[in-house]
Structure 1
Amino acid sequence: MKKNPAAAKLHLRVTLAPGVAFGPGKADLLAGIRDTGSIAAAGRAMRMSYKRAWQLVEELNASFREPLVEASKGGPGGGGARLTRTGEDVLARYLRMHEAATAAVARDMAALRRHVG
């Protein structure tokens, strides 16, 4: 079996307070909202139901002092969503932490991959 170096990756999940965690799924959802301007489109890109995407956005907004996502109602021109300044900051900090953690464990990850058949 051929080794796939891309298959090994670090998943960072940060527990910020009891019951408040932030990890790759929520980061991907925020990045999708930032990139598409839509909660529905971000959820679709992740193969997530519209309802689940909205639940996560509501959970994120309730977990932080300020909302991370601001949504506008649909209508003839359609609705939309955007990250707030706090949302942009939370996402950027998480991505920096993930990048730093990945770099910190790169040698050990490479060594572990060598043990995989």
Structure 2
Amino acid sequence: MRRDIFNAIADPTRRSILMSLTNESQNVNALADKFDMTRQAVSLHIKYLQECGVITVKKEGRERYCNLEVQKLEEIGDWLEPFRKMWTGKLNQLDELLGELQSKPIKKT
């Protein structure tokens, strides 16, 4: 089965692992301590993320450290860009309409 960035972010646990790695690399045990599941379950999520290419795992002594691969995550931003442009345009139109409505005097009856 081919796995990609969208498979990686499809699961809330995997998204949480990715968020945990945004500031610094962490070892597998430190990551596992953050979740209410077995270390083995977290290790499976880490393996999945590694297969998707969004993290790398480096062995240092007896520890395995996970590092975020930010370049791979840019694929999500690239995919979202057309939608971002569409919503930006729609929100700008709404802002203009609201500005027009606010500038019109209120008619008292």
So what's the TM-score if we normalise by structure 1? 0.45
Kindly indicate which of the two structures has a greater share of residues assigned to helix: 2
So what's the TM-score if we normalise by structure 2? 0.48
Larger radius of gyration: 2
